[in-house]
Structure 1
Amino acid sequence: MSIGVVVPMYNEKDNVRPLVEAVDQALSRFGRPYELLLVDDGSTDGTTEAIIDAEASFPSVRGVFLARNYGQATALQAGFDATSAPIVVSLDGDLQNDPSDIPWMIETLENEDLDVLCGWRRNRQDAPVRKAFSWLANRIICRLTDSDLHDFGCTLKVYRRDSLALTRLYGELHRFMPALLGEVGANIKEVVVTHNPRRHGRSKYGLDRTFRVILDVFLIVFLRKYLQRALHLFGGVGLMCLIPGALIWTYLGFLKIVLGEDIGHRPLLMVGTLLILSGIILIGQGLLGELVGRLVYEAGGRAQYHLKLSRKVGKLRSRRPPQGNAAEGGASPPAER
């Protein structure tokens, strides 16, 4: 079974050759055919030329060159689209992930019948502040996505091709692949992997990315729970505003009409008005979300569901005992009365 290794790279000129050699050493010993796809995400430091040189020196290396810098998620998706291997490995381009972990991770995926095997950098070789923010982000992601993984940010993952077909990556969603695939029934496990200090170049991650990831968590929660029922989310919150606002207006109307009191100076009038307007706007957003959802599924030809992975169904069918008849020649004749 062939292997496709996808490595997104952005300004990693000095890491290209060592990475290619390390992957070639690990997978040549493994004894399976493989291709190494180096995705150049709009680099400006000579990474493109280094990848082209690696293509000339290693037959298994193939470059994928993006027109500009799209980000890691899009670069990974470009690599996934470029390979047809049944087993796909994603790997960082800075050599902090150890390519020697790939063979035993593939064996674990196959032996335990997994769809996705995720790496966990338990002993991270990063600055304490970065590790602290990463830990916080991982805990928030786990809580909001009902996942039990420890390390969503580790790029080293092994996938089966049919599981990758269940979702597309954009933005920062590469971090949430386990949550997205778990939502559609993929069998996922996490294992501890080696994490090395960065040898060359500098990290492309800052603390600002942690906050962007936390914001993306809310997008994931929305996509998982409310993409097909946006009105339930916005309409529910809208009603929570609209009903109290209507009650406040009713009370103020009673004071004005029945008791003849002046209500123009009351702050409660402004509160009630804001609540009613907010409720109307939120319910309108919910209706708009429902219309957008219909466009996504109907005009876009996208199904509202995911089928169970065919490999899993096939294994379940193979375990089913044959439907034999009661007698070898056919059904037993009915008893005579």
Structure 2
Amino acid sequence: MAESLDISVVIPLLNEEESLPELHNWIGKVMEQKGFQYEVLFVDDGSTDKSWNIISELAERDSHVKGIKFNRNYGKSAALNTGFKNVSGRVVITMDADLQDSPDEIPGLYDQIMNEGYDLVSGWKKKRYDPIMKTIPSKFFNFVARKFSGIKLHDFNCGLKAYKKEVVKSIDVYGEMHRYIPFLAKGQGFAKIGERVVQHQARKYGETKFGLERFIFGFLDLLSISFVSKFKKRPMHFFGSFGTLSFFFGTIITFWVIGRKIYEVQMGLPARDVVDQPLFFLALVAVIIGVQLFLAGFIGEMMTQSSTRKNDYLVSKKIGLRD
């Protein structure tokens, strides 16, 4: 059964007890109309309300529903990463639990993956119902993300996305990296990335999880992923290049200062001691920094060769999934 699934829907959530029954019914209606074989995986990111109780009740009534509950709040990236590791559908759909993402978009996203050959399709909420304090920063954020990543998407933040199964099984999502899954996918060689205009719903229940810190952390993660994507497998290229330049210029300046002192002494000209010249100490600092950067490159190379890093999040409960 698991191997024949058409679609896996992964829904990360935090304190969304009011919207879950309606979302579940909506997804089920769409799937039955289209005749999809599917599963819905709710990932409870440490909710403090009755969200997990509702997921448990839904799973008792509907075999399509599965659930994972974290012991505490780890963040959306952790929820998606864990969800990706536990799904089996040929196409994986992600969406938020607040009913702002419409399940009616699922068939169109599925078609783009299966029939148009896309590796990943990202939703674009062209018309939004969010307050201006969220939409303006979001537009600026997306502009910067496009420039850094080279991926022409209008809405990196949209939670409604579709992936080939191979994509989600090949990436590791952590920090606030859920915004940059297209970037991560591209780094793994999944370059056919598309976009689809999707309907955006006004929030019906609960409160927004939006905060200014999300954009601050988002930009830091953008810088991080830009660096990692280029130098993860070759840290010596980054650290070694700057280290070599720093060491080279520091050494040249040091010999120039010492050589000038020797020349002035031989010619009987007045001259300051080498150690009295600030330029000499700046040159020594450059040499030391160059050596340190070079060593950092070597250490980075060794860590890259031996790294087995993975993200483990403490799951307290599961429904319908193997341990």
In the superposition, the TM-score normalised over structure 1's length comes to: 0.83
Q: Deviations over 1:141-182 (max 9, x none)?
A: 222222111211111111121222221222222222212222
Q: Is the 8 A contact 1:39 1:79 kept in 2?
A: yes
Identify the residue that residue 204 of structure 1 maps to in structure 2: 209
1:164 pairs with one of 165, 168, 172: 168
Q: Who is 2:230 aligned against?
A: 225
What is aligned with 1:61? 65
Deviation at 1:114, TM superposition (A): 1.6
2: distance between equivalents of 1:169 and 1:91? Answer: 16
Answer yes or no: is 1:274 the counterpart of 2:285: yes
Name 1:314's counterpart in structure 2. Answer: none
What is the CA–CA distance in structure 1 between the aligned matches of 2:280 and 2:50, rounded to whole Å?
64
Q: What is the 5 A alignment of 1:111-130?
A: 111-130=115-134
Q: How does 1:53-132 map to 2 (within 5 A)?
A: 53-132=57-136
Provide the residue aligned with 2:315 in structure 1: none
Equivalent residue number for residue 48 of structure 1: 52
Which residue is equivalent to 1:326? none
Query: Structure 1 residues 265 and 131, CA, compared in 2 at 3 Å: closer, same or farther?
Result: farther
- Is residue 250 of structure 2 the alignment partner of residue 245 of structure 1? yes
Correspondence for 1:320: none
Structure ranking higher on relative contact order (CA contacts 8 Å, 6+ apart): 2
The gaps in structure 1 that reach 5 residues or longer are: 303-337
Please report how far the alpha carbon of residue 7 of structure 1 lies from its aligned counterpart in structure 2 after TM superposition.
0.1
Q: Which residue of 1 aligns with 2:200?
A: 195
Alpha-carbon offset, residue 132 of structure 1: 2.1
| Stretch moving more, 279-288 or 23-32 | 23-32
Farther-moved stretch of structure 1 (260-269 vs 183-192): 260-269
- 1:23 counterpart letter in structure 2: I
Secondary structure, counterpart of 1:259 in structure 2: helix
Shift of 1:301: 11
Task: Determine the C-alpha separation between the residues in 2 that align with 1:301 and 1:271.
Answer: 38
- Letter paired with 1:243: F
Identity of aligned residues (%): 32
Structure 1 residue 199, shift from structure 2 partner:
1.5
Equivalent position SS for 2:304: helix
Structure 1 stretch displaced more, 251-260 or 228-237: 251-260
Report the AA paired with residue 11 of structure 2: V
What count of residue pairs does the alignment treat as equivalent? 299
Counterpart in the other structure of 1:214: 219
Instruction: Tell me the distance in 1 between the aligned counterparts of 2:117 and 2:237.
Output: 37
Please give the per-residue CA displacement for 1:68-114, whole angstroms capped at 9, x wherever unaligned.
21211111122222221112111111111111111122123222122
Q: Distance in 1 between matches of 2:294 and 2:63?
A: 58
SS state at 2:195 partner: strand
Q: Deviations over 1:185-212 (max 9, x none)?
A: 3222111111112122222231211121
Preserved CA contact (<8 Å) 2:84 2:169: no
State yes or no: 1:182 paired with 2:186.
yes
What RMSD in Å do the two structures reach over aligned CA positions? 2.0
Partner residue in 1 for 2:297: 286
- Aligned residue for 1:263? 274
* Structure 1 segments (4+ residues) deviating >3 Å: 255-258
1:31 partner letter? G
State the one-letter code of the partner of 2:56: I
